[in-house]
Amino acid sequence: MRFARNPNNRSGDYLEGMLSDYVGGKAKVKATKTGCTWLVTALTCLQLAFAVYATILLYYMSPSVELRTKPEFTWATRIARNMKQFIIPPHVHGRYQEAASLITAEIFSPITPSQVCEHERIDFVQKKSSDVQMIKLKRELYDEILDFQSKTIGTETLSELMAMKSQWDMRGPNRPKVTVLLNHFKRKTLCSQLDSLLQQSLPFHQVWVLSFGSPNEHSLKRIVESYNDSRISFISSSYDFKYYGRFQMALQTEADLVYIVDDDMIPGKKMLQILSHVAGIEKYKNSALGSIGRILPFRQKDFTFPSYRKFRSKEAGLYLPDPAYDITVQKIVQVDFLSSSWFLSAELVKALFIETPSTFMTGEDLHLSYQLQKYRNAGSFVLPVDLTDKETWGDSEHRLAYVSETTVIFKDIVQVRDDQWWRALSTGYVTQWAAMYPQKIDALFYAHSVDEVKALAPLLEKFRSSVGKKAYIVVSGGNFCPCEDAAAALNWPKSVCKERRFKIFDLQVGALSRASNSEVPVLQAVYSSLKGLIKIHNPSVIITVTDIDPNVKKALKMASETNVNGTALVLLPRSSVSKVLWMADLRSTALQNWNRMRISVNIITQSRAPSLTRLLKSLSDAYYTGDEIPVSFNMDSKVDEATIKLVDSFEWLHGPKTLRRRIIQGGLIRAVSESWYPTSDDDFGLLLEDDIEVSPYYYLWIKYALLAYHYDPQVSLPELSSISLYTPRLVEVVKERPRWNPTEFFNRIHPNTPYLHQLPCSWGAVFFPKHWREFYVYMNMRFTEDAKANPVQIPKSRTNGWQASWKKFLFDMMYLRGYVSLYPNFPNQASFSTNHMEPGAHISAKDNVVRHDKADFEVPLLIEDFRTLLPNGKLPPASKLPSLNLFNQPVSLKGLKAAGAKLGQDVLPCNNATEIVTVDHITGLPQQCSKFI
């Protein structure tokens, strides 16, 4: 800054006068010529030095110079002070000082706002739409949104909000500190904003005027200085931080709340008070509040989403308030994002920077609301106004921010913002559309790598090709699994990654988290996105592979547990994916119970190590579904050394291993019946003797049948007490024991239909917990060493004379109470288990007079996928399952109960032929006789 000189008093003339006075004052002293010359020279040098010092000092005192530390010139001051008394008399020095003061006062006189303020004038008239159809569409959509929100979260008017209790006391000691950030570039509205803020009913704590790369930086700074208020600061930078810089600055505040305002917003005088009060209400304290917002697009009839700028479309969403359509906000309304102003706690601002924005050029408004919801569960709300009181408006004078149709938005910006909001929606942003229209799909697949996409592809395709089924896939994106690569692996066009339609969701995890040695960014990004996607789509299951990254697995588990409607996480071994295509045939209500069941393998063994080796190998080679499967070995006291060593060395990869050994020999009845007892109603026990061998598909059969007939809420089959792995070849309870082929027997229905049979199976069966408790009590009440003391005599049944079989008591109970077991039925009686009929406690027993032909009991094991052999490729409905009695005769389930009631030999006497014994399923104790229908 140059030093401004007074034209009426030039410095040369002034110095000449000073010298004349000095010489005149000393007229009586005759000075020599040499002395006079020396004096003039000295004074000239001193004047030059002082002028240089003053010029430099004034330059560094200039408001246009920004320095953290100013140069120290006290040395020059000290020299001048010491020299002046030798050169300039006091009366001359006084005159010089007076003139300098006048000059300084002229330069540094205070600037007032009236001298520097510029006010922007807007001459246009608000454009009003005359499109009747458009007005109708916008109004209908707004009414639908308000109606939905009033019923779900509740909406309040301004007066109702102000009547609610707030944590902030506007007049007392608990008054909130509010920092206001004004971001300016070219508009001439700063003075109007500052005037409004200085008149607020709730005083602000600080105002930060920001100028980033503005061509008007100098004038903006002079305006701030003209207000001469220590609470108002000017912060500038030659670099343009654009839309995100103001939020970065907000992180530095020590205030309770921040109010970030665009340069086209001039808040009414009550805004800070209203905003602070609402921010202190429990319901809205975890929220961002503002005066303008937008509702993002709704899905169209063709299942795509339009551009948010699409004209003549109800689905394009809303701008609130929208003067063009006479839409005003008189009740608080939740929006998808806020525009032009944001009022929130300083802590919530941090959420904006959790993820790196896709672009810094635009979209900070959407990104903020998206991040707040995703990571802080915080909503965005437009406050209502009192239409009769401009002091309650977020923009009391400047109308540009409220204009919808007149606002110019360039096409490329529209595309960028469309891509941005679609990416948010497809990564878990619960928009107002998603909240109003929650979806229900069957499965959501997740793949963290392209290899995982390929592994899951068969099952995904099966779901998507099944009538009435909906399934989408989520990929990590970024460097982990680019969407385009995933689409190629699925033989889908790459365009699916760009179109606004639900099919594939790209989380862009790799792009957002960058390279990091920490697992936190990946875990956080996957969890937060999946949580939102689950809330939007309500999948019955999330399906992925078991060997997925452990942190991703943890994130998926956490996300699935957030769904109150129930979403099961299915972790499939890659080898099993193509073997469980039957999942797509199950109802969604059954699928979500995928993880409820706990199937334990309970092996009864004694001294048949080679047989046990074969069984264990078949168990290890089978296909599983990622479930935890406990295995227990139940050994009698006479178990041999080879069996003990085999059991001890066996490694079971699917769950815990338990060993049990009796002290006193118990025999087969006790060994089997005491091998398992349920811990809950979802605990199922598979009982296997050591001469059994299982099919690779045995576990998949059990899982499929349980989900279809036991865990489907739409299926009622209380009579089902067990699921058999084995298909019998003989009618076991008839004396002659004739051969029987179910495939031929049911040929008129379907040759391979599963069926219900009153016959219990001991050669590989899963028993249900409620019925097993019931059986325990029943056997306890009926078991004696003397078989003849057992009063139950089933007409014409060989079981009446059995003495050494635990199964006899199960026969009796199932007959008396009308229970059944589900049996497989495939060509040549191929089964999920077979009995090798090797010598043991029963087959070679001395008291066993029945000769057994191995060919009558040993059946082939299924080694191919059984799904293709089922009727129409899937399990038939429960109502279509045929049922047989003990003697392999077709009888309805009601008929089976009637036969048991007619026999009337249960532990409780039921005289009526239409009643059977019912029990307490928790204890298994008989309670009463109940009628059956």
Residue 531 lies in a domain: yes
Residues 220 and 207: their CA atoms lie apart, in Å, by 14
Which pLDDT belongs to residue 872? 93
Single-letter residue type at 565: N
User: Largest Cα–Cα distance in the chain?
Assistant: 163
pLDDT higher than 90, residue 200: yes
Give the domain CATH number at 319: 3.90.550.10
| CA angle 113–117–120, rounded 5-degree value | 150
Q: Judging by DSSP bridges, how do beta strands 379-382 and 287-290 pair with one another?
A: parallel
pLDDT at 929 over 50: yes
CB 546 within 8 A of CB 516: no
* Average pLDDT value for residue range 349-365: 88
- Cβ-contact 893, 719 below 8 angstroms: yes
CA–CA separation, 521 vs 555, rounded Å? 11
Q: How many domains does the chain have?
A: 3
The answer to whether residues 99 and 166 touch, using CB atoms and an 8 Å cutoff, is: no
Residues in the chain, overall count: 933
Residue 569 has pLDDT above 90, yes or no: yes
Other residues' Cβ atoms within 10 Å of the Cβ of residue 846 = 5
8 A C-beta contact, residue 280 and residue 167: yes
Are residues 737 and 876 located together in one domain of the fold? yes
List, edge to edge, every strand of the sheet that includes 178-184: 232-237, 206-212, 178-184, 257-261, 341-345, 287-290, 379-382, 333-335
Question: Which has more confidence, 527 or 81?
Answer: 527
| Strands 504-506 and 379-382, bridge-based pairing | unpaired
Last residue of a domain, one of 543, 561, 592: 592
* pLDDT (0 to 100) of residue 67: 42
* pLDDT recorded at residue 565: 83
Strand pairing partners for 259?
180, 343
Residues 369 and 459 in one domain: no
Q: What are 707-757's pLDDT values in tens digits?
A: 999 999 999 999 999 999 999 998 888 888 899 999 999 988 888 999 999
Residue labelled with tokens 């040993």: 858
Choose between 70 and 531: higher pLDDT.
531
Which structure tokens are listed for 651?
């490694």
How many C-beta atoms surround the C-beta of residue 461 within 10 A?
A: 15
First CA to last CA distance, the chain? 104
Q: Is 767 in a helix, a strand, or coil?
A: strand
pLDDT-derived band of residue 22, with 50, 70 and 90 as boundaries? very low
**299: DSSP letter:** P
Please check whether residue 705 lies inside any domain of the structure.
yes
| Residues 699 and 837 placed together within one structural domain of the fold | yes
Pairing of β 833-835 and β 692-694: antiparallel
Q: Three-state SS for 175?
A: coil
Q: Could you report the per-residue pLDDT of 67-105, keeping only the tens digit for each? A: 444 445 455 555 545 554 544 555 545 554 555 554 454
Confidence check: pLDDT of 410 > 70: no
Average pLDDT on 555-584 reads: 94
- Residue 564's pLDDT is what? 84
Sign, CA torsion 610/615/617/620: negative
HSE at residue 667, side-chain half, CA atoms within 13 A, is 8
Lowest mean pLDDT among 80-89, 512-521, 740-749, 822-831: 80-89
Answer with the residue of higher pLDDT: 264 or 503.
Answer: 503
Query: Which of residues 592, 618, 640 is at a domain's end?
Result: 592
Helix 11-25 × helix 33-60 angle, to 10°: 140
Q: How far is CA 858 from CA 740, 836, 838, in A?
A: 14, 6, 10
| Gap between the Cα atoms of 540 and 526, Å rounded | 18
**Interatomic CA distance for residues 296 and 558, integer angstroms:** 28
Tokens 């699925």 sit on residue? 490
Place of tokens 């002079």: 222
Mark which of 538, 560, 592 sits at the end of a domain: 592
Residue 766 CA to residue 773 CA, distance in Å, equals 14
Q: How far apart are CA 581 and CA 384, in angstroms?
A: 53
151 with 285, same domain: the answer is: yes
Is 419 part of a structural domain of the chain?
no
Confidence of residue 31 (pLDDT cuts 50, 70, 90): very low
Answer yes or no: are the C-beta atoms of 425 and 296 closer than 8 Å: yes
9 has pLDDT over 50: no
Cross-strand pairs, 336? none
Q: What is the dihedral of CA 556, 557, 559, 563, to 10 degrees?
A: 130
Give every CB contact of residue 910 below 8 A, 6+ residues apart in sequence: 901, 904, 916, 917, 929
Nearest to 310 by CA among 497, 141, 505: 141
Quote the CA–CA distance of 433 and 814 in Å, as a whole number.
Answer: 53
Give the model's pLDDT for residue 402: 54
- Could you tell me if 442 and 390 lie in one domain? no
- The Cα–Cα gap between 574 and 556 comes to 18
The Cβ-side half-sphere exposure at 847, using a 13 Å CA radius, reads 6
Residue 925 falls inside a structural domain: yes
Gap between the Cα atoms of 211 and 623, Å rounded = 66
Q: Are 478 and 509 in contact (CB under 8 A)?
A: yes
Q: How far apart are CA 134 and CA 310, in angstroms?
A: 11
Chain center to CA of 515: 22
- Tell me, yes or no, if the pTM score tops 0.85: no
Regarding whether 280 and 172 lie in a shared domain, the answer is yes
What whole-number distance in Å separates Cα of residue 607 and Cα of residue 643?
6
Q: How much of the chain is helix, strand and coil, in % rounded to 5?
A: 40, 15, 45
| Residue-number span of the structural domain to which 549 is assigned | 438-592
Same domain for 742 and 813, yes or no, is yes
> Hey, is 837 helix, strand or coil?
coil
Looking at residue 443, what is its pLDDT? 97
Classify residue 286: in a domain, yes or no: yes
**Residue type at 626?**
G
* Distance separating alpha carbons of residues 811 and 787, to the nearest angstrom: 14
| Residues 748 and 839 reside in one and the same domain | yes
The pLDDT value given to residue 101: 53
Within a domain: 31: no
State residue 362's pLDDT score.
Answer: 86
Separation CA 837–CA 856 (nearest Å) = 10
386 and 472 belong to one structural domain = no
pLDDT tens sequence across 638-676 = 999 999 999 999 999 999 999 999 898 878 888 888 889
Q: Is the pLDDT of residue 4 over 70?
A: no
Pairwise CA distance, residues 503 & 484, whole Å: 13
Whether 414 maps to a domain, the answer reads no
Q: How far is CA 48 from the centre of its chain?
A: 74
Between 49 and 466, name the one with better pLDDT: 466
Both tokens of 865, joined, read 């996928």
For residues 260 and 313, state if they share a domain. Answer: yes
Instruction: Name the DSSP letter for residue 908.
Output: S
**% the chain with pLDDT above 70:** 84
Q: Rounded to whole angstroms, how far apart are CA atoms 146 and 80?
A: 77
Tell me how far apart the alpha carbons of residues 812 and 798 are, in angstroms, rounded to a whole number. 12
In terms of pLDDT, which residue wins out, 85 or 54?
54
Q: Could you give the C-alpha distances from 64 to 1, 70, 220, 229, 893, in angstroms and in order?
A: 8, 13, 11, 18, 96
For 409, the token pair is 């938005």
Q: What number is the average pLDDT over the span 693-699?
A: 97
* 443 and 315 inside one domain: no
| Residue appearing with tokens 């913002």 | 417
CA dist., res. 857 & res. 833, Å (int): 11
Classify residue 84: in a domain, yes or no: no
Question: Position 422: which residue type?
Answer: W
Residue recorded with tokens 């009643």: 915
CATH number at residue 456: 3.40.50.2000
Distance, CA of 405 to CA of 37 (rounded, Å): 81
Do 521 and 373 lie in one domain? The reply is no
CB 207 within 8 A of CB 231: yes
| In contact, 345 and 295? CB cutoff 8 Å | no
pLDDT tens profile 137-180: 999 999 999 999 999 999 999 999 999 999 998 887 889 999 99
